[in-house]
Structure 1
C-alpha cells in the first residue's frame, strides 16, 4: 500500500511517499480502506515540531510512529476475530488517536476506537475532515459549561476549529462574534455568526465589550489581549497555545482565579456521534477549502502551515 512517511522532523519535504505491506487486522480490529484523510494544524506542528517540547510525546530525535494523519473516512474491508460493531462494507469515519497513521491507503484500528458509521448524507471528504476541528471545538465548549444566552468571541473564526465552534455555539443558543480577515466575513456569517470583526478591530482600544467565553483558535493573540475582553467569571479558551503560553496561563489561573482552558482534548465516541447526527440533519456544515492527492502531501502541509486556509484541507486517497 502507499503511505506518506515522516522519518525525521523538518520542513514539508521530509514527507515521503513509500510502499508498505498492507496490514491485517488482529483480534477485535477492523481493516479500513481509507478514502480520505485531512491535514490540520496538529499534523504540521508534529512534523516540524512546533513547539520543540512535542518531541517528548512523539519521539526525541524522530517520530515513534512515522505515518502522520489523525482523521479518516473509508470502508471496512476486513474484520478481525471478535468484531461485532462493524461489518465488511461499512462506511466509517473517525479519529486514529495519538498513534496517527491515516496518511495511508489502509489502516487497522480496534473496533473500540473513536470511529462510527458514516451516514449516507455525509461525503467521504466531509467525514475525513469532521473529526479534528469539530471534536476540538465541542470538547472545549463542554469544558466551558456553555449554556444558552451566553456570549462568545471566536478569534480565528475561519479556521477548522473556528468554523466548527461558530456552528456548535449557535446550536447551544449562544450569541457569536467571529474574528477573522475581512475576506472571510461572508463565510462566518453563513455559518451563523451574529457579529463579525477583523483582527484590527479586535485589538483596537475602542473594542470594550466583554464576553462570557473568549475562544482563541489559532494561537496568534496575546493572553492580555484576550483577558481584557473576558467578563467576570468568564472562560478563556486557548486552542493553539504553545508551552510558554500554557505555563503563563497556569500562573494566571492560580494567582488570579481566572478560568483558562487549554491542552489536549478528550476525543469521545459520544461527541463524534453527536456531530455526525448534526451533520446528517444539515445542522452542521464541514467547511472544505482545498483537496490534494496523497502524493501532494508536502504541498498540502505547506499550505496549511501558512495559516490562510478556510476550514479544512482534505487528502484524496481513493475515489
Structure 2
C-alpha cells in the first residue's frame, strides 16, 4: 500500500511516499480503506515536534525520542471497512465510516487498522469522504470545550482563532446553542465565518477586542494565543474562559485566577468518543453544521499540504485525498 512516511522530525520535506505492507486486523480491530484524511495544526506540530514545554517530555517519550516511532502520521480519516478481525460486532464489511486514530496515528496511508471501539462512526448518507474526514478533530474538540461552558440561549460567545478546523465547528455549535457569536481571525477568513453563522466578526490585525469594553459570557481561545490578563477581563462575572491550547504562562495564571476570581477558567484535552461522533453526524444529517474545506491535496502532495497549513492561511480544513 502507499503511505506517506515521516522519516525524522523536521520540515514538510521529511514526508516521503513509500510502499508498505498492507496491515492485517487483529481481534477486535477493523481494516479501513482510507479515502480521505486531513492536515491540522496538530499534525504539523507532531511532524516538526514543536510543542509547548508542558508537553515536550511526555510526547517525546511517546512519539519517539530521536525520530518518530509511528512513521505514518495523520489523525482523522474517512473510508470504508474492508474487513474485520474476530471479536468485534460494531462494524461490517462495506460500512462507510469516519473517525479518529488518536495517537495511534496512521491515516496518511491507503489502509489503516484500528480497534473497533475507537472514536469511529458510520457516515450519514449523502456525505462525501472528504467532508466526513474534517469532522472528528475539529468537531470533538469544539464539542468538548463548549459543553464545559454550558452555553444558554441569548448568551454572548467570543471565539478567538475561529477560522480553523476547531473554530469553524465551534462557531456552528455555539449558534446551535442559541448564542450570539463573535468570531475573531484574520481578515481573509471573515466572510467564511459569516457564512457559517457568526453574528459578528473581528479582524485581529485591525481591532483589539479587549480595548472595546465589550464583555462576553463565554470566551473560547482555540489556539491559546490571546493575552491572558486582557482576555480574562473581557469575560463577564460568572462567565467562562476556555483555553484550547494553553501555554505554560496561561496555565499558571489560570491556577491563580481560579482561586481569586469568580470567572471559571477551563483548560484540558478533549476525550474522543464514538457517541460524540454520532451526535455530530446527526447535526450534519439535519443540516445544522457543515464542514468548511479550503483545499484538497492528493496523498502524494502531503508535504505541500503541511506547508500550506503552516502558512496560517487555511480557512477551515485542508483535506488529503487517497482517491
**Range of TM-score over shorter length:** over 0.9
2:43 & 2:170 partners in 1: Cα distance?
Answer: 20
Mark the CA change 1:58 to 1:263 in structure 2 (over 3 Å): closer, same or farther: farther
2:221 corresponds to: 216
1:141 & 1:296 partners in 2: Cα distance?
Answer: 34
1:32 corresponds to: 32
Q: 1:245 aligns with which of 230, 247, 250?
A: 250
Give the paired residue count. Answer: 318
Matched, 1:181 2:174: no
| 1:173 aligned counterpart, secondary structure | coil
2:174 corresponds to: 169
Matched, 1:231 2:236: yes
Once the two structures are superposed, residues 186-216 of structure 1 have per-residue CA deviations (whole angstroms, 9 ceiling, x without a partner) of 2111111111121145525641111011111
1:316 corresponds to: 321
Q: 1:272 aligns with which of 277, 283, 293?
A: 277
Matched, 1:97 2:93: no
CA contact (8 A) 1:179 1:202 kept: no
Structure 2 alignment gaps of length 5 or more? none
Structure 1 alignment gaps of length 5 or more? none
2:6 corresponds to: 6
2:210 & 2:134 partners in 1: Cα distance?
Answer: 37
2:277 & 2:170 partners in 1: Cα distance?
Answer: 14
CA contact (8 A) 2:235 2:241 kept: yes
The alignment's TM-score, normalised by the length of structure 2, stands at: 0.93
Q: 1:261 aligns with which of 243, 262, 266?
A: 266
CA contact (8 A) 1:94 1:272 kept: yes
More deviation, 100-109/214-223: 214-223
The alignment's TM-score, normalised by the length of structure 1, stands at: 0.94
Mark the CA change 1:288 to 1:99 in structure 2 (over 3 Å): closer, same or farther: same
Matched, 1:125 2:130: yes
2:157 corresponds to: 152
2:320 & 2:61 partners in 1: Cα distance?
Answer: 28
1:201 & 1:153 partners in 2: Cα distance?
Answer: 17
Once the two structures are superposed, residues 52-84 of structure 1 have per-residue CA deviations (whole angstroms, 9 ceiling, x without a partner) of 614244232222322211100001111111221
1:46 & 1:293 partners in 2: Cα distance?
Answer: 20
CA contact (8 A) 1:203 1:225 kept: no
Mark the CA change 1:225 to 1:50 in structure 2 (over 3 Å): closer, same or farther: farther
CA contact (8 A) 2:210 2:230 kept: no
Mark the CA change 1:46 to 1:250 in structure 2 (over 3 Å): closer, same or farther: farther
Once the two structures are superposed, residues 117-155 of structure 1 have per-residue CA deviations (whole angstroms, 9 ceiling, x without a partner) of 111221100111111111110000111222222211011
CA contact (8 A) 1:237 1:262 kept: yes
CA contact (8 A) 1:39 1:304 kept: yes
CA contact (8 A) 2:144 2:271 kept: yes
**Shift in Å at residue 257 of structure 1?**
5.5
1:64 corresponds to: 69
What is the Cα-based RMSD across aligned positions, in Å?
A: 1.7
Mark the CA change 1:307 to 1:145 in structure 2 (over 3 Å): closer, same or farther: same
1:233 & 1:257 partners in 2: Cα distance?
Answer: 6
Matched, 1:289 2:289: no
Equivalences for residues 14-29 of structure 1 within 5 A: 14-29=14-29
